[in-house]
Structure 1
């Protein structure tokens, strides 16, 4: 009897670990794919701005290539972490996958390029709109290039156990997790369940409804 109970216990533990690993694998793949698609969309728009071509071919290629890039980075994260939670600590931000570091650096590059180019246009007394367009587009590509180096060369990758990550990283739950500092973090697209109590002729019962939280901000005192 004790042997049977022991075998059942081992099976239950193994099943729980596999379920957790599978869930983490899906989260890594989904988060990276989403980030890659957004990154590709931004770069496609940047290419259109640089070339001045109103054709949406560059935008379309950017979305498709970005999605494939995100899937590839997701596979890299799953392989390197063994399906476990991962924290990527880049030069400017921390995140729970690799592609979020590249995406944020792309945003920073676009913002910096827009500011620098518009300042130059003001000094030269040229149209600011052109400076914003070319500056942000060039900055986005420069930020993307730097982001690749930041994420795959400079960043520190931490793959502790799930419990350690939840206690030490302070990154909010979600397919995309962004850690601003030790106290502030933001999670995007976090699937969850909401529960409500209902009463009918049979009595009181609890109903669960699947939901998706678009934003999940965490502040630790």
Structure 2
């Protein structure tokens, strides 16, 4: 708990010392990385439960906490290598991203899906239970994907490319986690919070209501 508070204070101090015209971009970069790290931690916690064949939620709890700290650390790292007033942009093996933590997160998804596919295929050949194959295959694949994602994001990826980030068109699929392919024909945005405002006018009263909403996924396909 003390380490968690210390990291939060360090991140807050780092942001507070930045010039005002870069604070908004820095806060956005730190926030996206923190959320991505938390999601990645939850996924790896679930993968650990699958490998342990356990229904105890301890690994998810630990994964959420550790993933949040990891995301804060990656956010501070991205802020430290980003030029003032510039948009962060990095190009990995499979994905391009506007923050470093997206690449390990997506590679974790890919690893889990690939592991489940391979394990299920093998189980069909050797006539083993399919459910267990999916369980252990996705668990191993998630961890393998995360490991590759870390290497990809911090050693293999190209960037940050500030010129490409400035030239890139705004994404039509918004969200905390965004993905677009190389020719920008497919765009995916995940986890987009919003607020709907509704105003009603009657003969005597004016009523305004605010309703929060959360879009899980936006998909844009250019045909």
RMSD (Å) for aligned C-alpha atoms: 3.0
Q: Which residue of 2 aligns with 1:168?
A: 168
Q: Which residue of 2 aligns with 1:105?
A: 107
Label 1:195 to 1:149 Cα distance change in 2 as closer, same or farther (>3 A): same
SS at match of 1:81: coil
TM-score normalized with structure 1 length: 0.76
Deviation of 1:30 (Å): 1.0
Distance 1:53 1:213 in 2: 31
Is the 8 Å Cα contact of residues 70 and 99 (structure 1) preserved in structure 2? yes
SS at match of 2:159: strand
Deviation of 1:197 (Å): 8.4
Q: Which residue of 2 aligns with 1:3?
A: none
Is the 8 Å Cα contact of residues 113 and 140 (structure 1) preserved in structure 2? yes
Deviation of 1:55 (Å): 1.9
Which is worse superposed, 42-51 or 181-190?
A: 181-190
Deviations 1:122-176 (A, max 9, x none): 1111100000000000000000000001111111113426xx6354255454432
Give the number of the structure whose alpha-carbon radius of gyration is greater. 1
Distance 1:26 1:59 in 2: 26
Q: How many correspondences in the alignment?
A: 200
Is the 8 Å Cα contact of residues 181 and 187 (structure 2) preserved in structure 1? yes
Q: Unpaired segments of 5 or more residues in structure 1?
A: 1-16, 202-206
Q: Which residue of 1 aligns with 2:37?
A: 36
Q: Which residue of 1 aligns with 2:6?
A: none
Is the 8 Å Cα contact of residues 196 and 213 (structure 2) preserved in structure 1? no
1:147 and 2:149 matched: yes
Distance 1:55 1:195 in 2: 41
Q: Unpaired segments of 5 or more residues in structure 2?
A: 1-17
Q: Which residue of 2 aligns with 1:79?
A: 80
